Chains A and B, each alone.
Chain A
Amino acid sequence: EPEVTQTPSHQVTQMGQEVILRCVPISNHLYFYWYRQILGQKVEFLVSFYNNEISEKSEIFDDQFSVERPDGSNFTLKIRSTKLEDSAMYFCASSEPGQGASYEQYFGPGTRLTVT
């Protein structure tokens, strides 16, 4: 069964450093997403991406965040200058266009980001 993969599984960085989280969505999917989950809290939407551009973003996704699909397979989330409160599990997800409305998104295993 095809799956979404994410690397690294765990990233430790110092405050102020830039990090890039990488995702390989399922190959025939066209919609891509990033979510985050702070420890003990609910999953929060960050951004959705379709047709090589951001289709929607949350208020969390401020200027320090950016997303890119640099080639036909990778989807990345960059955090320019990390803050302590960016420590969280970051999930990538993808979905395919369907015949009708669908909320079936496939999530990766996540990258645990720890900012010290």
Chain B
Amino acid sequence: LAKTTQPISMDSYEGQEVNITCSHNNIATNDYITWYQQFPSQGPRFIIQGYKTKVTNEVASLFIPADRKSSTLSLPRVSLSDTAVYYCLVGGNQGGKLIFGQGTELSVKP
């Protein structure tokens, strides 16, 4: 499983766009990039997954450059309720374990 590196914490204000970048230099050809969100005392929640280029859903966008050695989770117009820990995970095995790092603790202020 590829190792990931992401900032420990980020601060933002309501209404701003937040971009969290994750480095995964050793990503393998069949690896996907997946982001999870975790609120305090709750289980992680799947946000978005991608393989290359750009993926967008109702919650976020995921930008993956051509070399796939990094990815950026973009949260448009964050609100206070987006305060959470965001995890970047890399892997490709269906039914496989998730290996969580420390994640990025996002704090959204009014």
Which residue numbers of A lie inside 8 Å of B, CB to CB? 4, 30-31, 33, 35, 42-45, 48, 50, 55-56, 58, 89, 91, 93, 95, 97-98, 100-110, 112
Contact = CB atoms under 8 A, between A and B. Distances in A.
Interface stretch (B10-18, B70-78, B85-93): B85-93
- Residue of A30, A55, A58, A103 with most partner-chain B CB within 10 A: A103
Interface string B33-55: 01000100111111001000000
The contact size tier of chain B is 20 to 34
B32 A42 contact: no
State the majority secondary structure of interface residues on B: loop
Contacts of B92: 101
Contact of B43 (A56, A95, A110): A110
A95 B96 CA distance: 10
Interface of B: 30, 32, 34, 38, 41-46, 49, 87, 89, 91-103
A35 B97 CA distance: 9
Contacts of A56: 96-97
Contacts of A45: 97-99
A42 B96 CA distance: 18
Given A91-B43, A109-B43, A35 B98 contact: yes
A102 B38 contact: no
